[in-house]
Amino acid sequence: MEEKEESVGLSGTCEEDGDDEFKWWEKENNDDSVKWVTLRHNGVMFPPEYEPLPSHVRLYYDGKAVELPPEAEEVAGFFAALLESDHAKNPVFQRNFFNDFLEVLKRYGGAKNGVEVSSFDKCDFSKMFEYLQLQREQRKQLSPQEKKQLKLEKDQLEEPFKYCYLDGRKEQVGNFRIEPPDLFRGRGAHPKTGKLKRRVYPEDVVLNMDKDAAIPDPPAGHKWGEIRHDNTVQWLCMWRENISNSFKYVRLAANSSQKGMSDFKKFEKARELKKYIDIIRSDYRRSLKSKVMLERQIAVATYLIDVFALRAGGEKSEDEADTVGCCSLRYEHVTLKPPFTVIFDFLGKDSIRYYQEVEVDKQVFKNLTIFKRPPKQPGHQLFDRLDPSILNKHLQNYMPGLTAKVFRTYNASKTMQDQLDLIPNEGSVTEKIVRYNAANRAVAILCNHQRTLGRGHAASMQKANEKLEEYQWQKIRYKKAILQLDESELKKNPKYFKEIKDLTKEEQMAIHKRVIEREREKYKRKFTRENEKRKFDKEELLTDSQLKSWLDDVDELEKQYAQELETDEIVLKPTLLNVEKLKAQVEKLEQRIATSSIQLKDKEDNSTVALSTSKISYIDPRLSVVFCKKYNVPLEKIFTKALREKFKWAIESADENWRF
DNA sequence: AAACAGACTTAGAACGATTATT
DNA sequence: AATAATCGTTCTAAGTCTGTTT
């Protein structure tokens, strides 16, 4: 304990922790080649060692239990844990996993009981899977106190790594944990998906800190790979991963001054583009007709990046998923439909599909036709003279630091501002938030930010739809009942009763069935639950005849509905046999139908759009701050706690008149 | 100018916590 | 009170872009 204190305590010199905050946004700072003067931290947290499974939990091969060496068992366990996921069904994932698994198995001497494992199809991971599931269940079942205790222990273990001292200021570290070994979960059709991501040891890790900083002790029996003192970079720790041989970094958290400054600079750069956008646009429109092919390609690419918010699109290697951006678009990704319609259909970042049928500028259409002319064919680059570095160099002629991605930030924030400007300053806070989210959604759609539908999405959609249908049915029943009570109502307002014929017999029957079934379930559940409770309280149990009497009531209701269907005579509780009361009920139902269908539509519209990425990375947070101030919406309705910390600079610096 | 290494931002999935619903 | 739906956070993969080397 004391030791930890000491090494971080060497923060030394400067300010106290806590109150006097560093308001970097109030200071002028243009040079960011040097990121810090002093940097001190306690290194990184390593994942726990592997704990072998109990001996009765085994991989089965061709029906026989396999005694795996722990190193191989760990890898098999990674697969077993994913057994019910899509990964485990992916043949590439299976093959990559199995190759690496066999290699580990061989390296550690094969199965201890001599079982020769060679075919994936003969492996049965289900026992391992069940055990892992059970453990998860048990963890969930723990009492609140036990959970609290575990959390406390976890926090204590993490404490030394959560913070660092940067120029004497205490700042939060982002990902202070070394990534644990696992199977690589590449997105889309990644050729390496399923490969073993190996365990990282201190020997693999480079620490970055100032020269006078105390070097934290590596875990017992280990040494650090290297200690570096590079103050031109932001990272605290780094290691090389074995899947694509690139680096992983430990850096500061999103709420740190460093990240905040970068963020601020990003948005200021995007705002700077305002000054140049008109000339850039008129230039690329002119260059669409240039005699030089390269210039035409630059013009079309800039147009696509500006108008459709495409990414730059760098070249990718053979052993990554085949995804593209603007410069790497190929022949088959663009379909031309005269006179001006273009269909884009390709996989972008994270293998998210970009599909848009759009009208484009006449000359853009012409140029795309030229770019696709024979001998070009599927597989060929559309922009064969172009790559992001050429494009970015061209953009930098207009504005220092301008690159393709700045257009995404610029257009996203511009769109948000324009959308927010359209919102009338009226109505409830909830209504204003709905409007804000609609503006946010416009940005997310521009950037093609998607999310895959959750597991239960289709089901919950259907449920909501059925509910709506049932409201409608109930409403019609009440209207019919009104006419039974007083036929003259029909003449008074024929329109009001028009919808009583809207549901067919079949539809009504289906609704009856659902309503009845739900009632039955309700009573059955009520019965079991009540008895469990009574058993616990040592009270007398409800008898089966009690349940039966409830269910008989439901049967009765079922008969009644069937009867209604036959005779078209509605039977209602005596208390409801009153025209005014029924009309009030109808009114209530109409309200419910209105709100439910709006919610339903909202849910549907939102189901495949992810709002968070644009909120976190593209929309200048000052826009949201200004919106909240002007429209009197509490900021915490728009920004979560984490986002309020990340955007502290924006919250404290934007006044009501701020414009992007 | 191409290829590569390095360092940073942006991205959706997974998971855990919280809130709404029954 | 249990269960389902939603929200918020964590995790790490997958981009962009710069600078260096050949």
Give yes or no: residues A109 and A156 share one domain.
no
Which CATH number belongs to the domain containing residue A438 in this structure? 1.10.132.10
What is chain A's length? Answer: 660
Residues of A with catalytic annotation? 618
% pLDDT > 70, chain A: 92
Residue A8 lies in a domain: no
Q: Which of A186, A182, A200 is nearest to A238 (CA)?
A: A200
Residue A53 lies in a domain: no
Total domains, chain A: 5
Give yes or no: residues A480 and A394 share one domain.
no
Nucleotide nearest to A197 (CA to C1'): C12
pLDDT digits (tens, 9 = 90+) for A77-97: 999 999 989 999 999 999 999
pLDDT digits (tens, 9 = 90+) for A362-386: 999 999 999 999 989 999 999 999 9
Q: Which of A559, A588, A585 is nearest to A481 (CA)?
A: A585
First to last CA, chain A: 49
Indicate whether A323 pLDDT > 50.
Answer: yes
Give yes or no: residues A245 and A300 share one domain.
no
- Asked if the bond preceding A202 is cis, omega within 30° of 0, the reply is no
- In Å, what is the separation between the CA of A642 and the C1' of C9? 9
Give yes or no: residues A471 and A355 share one domain.
no
User: Nearest residue to nucleotide B7 when comparing alpha carbons to its C1'?
Assistant: A233
- The residue written with tokens 């077993």 in the block is A80
**Packing angle between helix A404-421 and helix A621-631, nearest 10 degrees?**
10
* Contact predicate A450/A356, CB 8 Å: no
Complete DSSP assignment for A477-524: HHHHHHHHH-TTHHHH-GGGGGGGG-S-HHHHHHHHHHHHHHHHHHHH
Q: Which tokens hold the place of A349?
A: 């970042």
Residue A307 lies in a domain: yes
Residue that terminates a domain, selected from A81, A110, A140: A140
Residue type, A324: V
Nucleotide nearest to A452 (CA to C1'): B12
Q: Which residue has the higher pLDDT, A152 or A60?
A: A60
Q: Which of A263, A277, A282, A302 is nearest to A399 (CA)?
A: A277
What's the pLDDT at A628?
A: 94
Indicate whether A518 pLDDT > 60.
Answer: yes
Residue A280 lies in a domain: yes
Mean pLDDT for A435-463 is 85
Indicate whether A1 pLDDT > 50.
Answer: no
- In Å, what is the separation between the CA of A295 and the C1' of C1? 68
Indicate whether A387 pLDDT > 80.
Answer: yes
Give yes or no: residues A339 and A357 share one domain.
yes
Mean pLDDT for A436-464 is 84
Helix residue ranges per DSSP H, A23-125:
70-81, 91-107
Give yes or no: residues A133 and A164 share one domain.
no
Question: What are the beta bridge partners of residue A45?
Answer: A177
The whole domain housing A375 covers 258-402
- In Å, what is the separation between the CA of A6 and the C1' of C19? 38
Question: What are the beta bridge partners of residue A344?
Answer: A334, A356
Indicate whether A160 pLDDT > 80.
Answer: yes
pLDDT digits (tens, 9 = 90+) for A241-294: 999 999 999 999 999 999 999 999 999 999 999 999 999 999 999 999 999 999
What's the pLDDT at A639?
A: 94
Lowest mean pLDDT among A10-24, A53-67, A614-628: A10-24
Maximum mean pLDDT: which of A23-27, A64-68, A131-135, A606-610: A64-68
- In Å, what is the separation between the CA of A636 and the C1' of C12? 28
Give yes or no: residues A73 and A111 share one domain.
yes
Strand C nucleotides in reach of protein CB atoms, 7 A cut-off? 2, 4-18
Residue A296 lies in a domain: yes
What's the pLDDT at A14?
A: 43
Give yes or no: residues A247 and A263 share one domain.
no
What's the pLDDT at A89?
A: 93
Which CATH number belongs to the domain containing residue A296 in this structure? 3.90.15.10
CA atoms of A97 and A192, how far apart (whole Å): 9
Mean pLDDT for A307-314 is 96
Nucleotide nearest to A402 (CA to C1'): C17
The three-state secondary structure class of A177 is strand
Indicate whether A519 pLDDT > 80.
Answer: no
User: Nearest residue to nucleotide B8 when comparing alpha carbons to its C1'?
Assistant: A234
Question: What are the beta bridge partners of residue A226?
Answer: A206
Mean pLDDT value across chain A: 87
Residue A48 lies in a domain: no
Complete DSSP assignment for A232-246: TS--SEEEE-SSSS-
pLDDT digits (tens, 9 = 90+) for A637-647: 999 999 999 99
Band of pLDDT at residue A534, cut at 50, 70 and 90? low
Lowest mean pLDDT among A242-246, A286-290, A533-537, A549-553: A533-537
Residue that terminates a domain, selected from A563, A585, A601: A601
What is the bridge-based pairing of β-strands A205-208 and A226-228?
A: parallel
Give yes or no: residues A515 and A552 share one domain.
yes
Indicate whether A12 pLDDT > 50.
Answer: no
What's the pLDDT at A207?
A: 95
CA atoms of A644 and A373, how far apart (whole Å): 52
Residues with CB under 7 A from strand B: A 35, 85-87, 151, 185, 187, 230, 232-235, 238, 246-247, 249, 251, 259, 262-263, 266, 311, 349-350, 352, 405, 408-409, 447-452, 467, 522, 610, 612-614, 617-618
Residue A55 lies in a domain: no
Give yes or no: residues A158 and A217 share one domain.
yes
What's the pLDDT at A529?
A: 63
Strand B nucleotides in reach of protein CB atoms, 7 A cut-off? 6-14, 17, 22
pLDDT digits (tens, 9 = 90+) for A331-367: 999 999 999 999 999 999 999 999 999 999 999 999 9
* Contact predicate A73/A117, CB 8 Å: no
| Phi and psi angles of residue A380, each rounded to the nearest 5 degrees, phi first | -85, 150
Nucleotide nearest to A518 (CA to C1'): B22
Band of pLDDT at residue A17, cut at 50, 70 and 90? very low
Q: Which residue has the higher pLDDT, A616 or A537?
A: A616
Which CATH number belongs to the domain containing residue A98 in this structure? 1.10.10.41
Which CATH number belongs to the domain containing residue A206 in this structure? 2.170.11.10
Q: Which of A444, A445, A424 is nearest to A435 (CA)?
A: A424
Indicate the pTM of the whole model: 0.84
CA atoms of A34 and A561, how far apart (whole Å): 78
Give yes or no: residues A294 and A347 share one domain.
yes
A12 Ramachandran zone, left/alpha/beta (phi>0; psi -120 to 50): left
Mean pLDDT for A200-225 is 94
- The residue written with tokens 């290699």 in the block is A103
Give yes or no: residues A262 and A377 share one domain.
yes
H/E element holding A286?
helix A274-287
> Cα dist. A255→A209, A260, A287, A651 in Å?
20, 7, 43, 13
What's the pLDDT at A13?
A: 45
Residue A29 lies in a domain: no
Band of pLDDT at residue A563, cut at 50, 70 and 90? confident
What's the pLDDT at A18?
A: 46
- In Å, what is the separation between the CA of A314 and the C1' of C15? 9
Q: What is the DSSP-derived secondary structure letter of residue A219?
A: S
Band of pLDDT at residue A464, cut at 50, 70 and 90? confident
Mean pLDDT for A297-316 is 95
Band of pLDDT at residue A20, cut at 50, 70 and 90? low
Q: Which of A501, A513, A506, A495 is nearest to A472 (CA)?
A: A501
> Cα dist. A396→A274, A276, A388, A390, A601 in Å?
14, 11, 12, 10, 44
What's the pLDDT at A624?
A: 95
Q: Which tokens hold the place of A532?
A: 């469990």
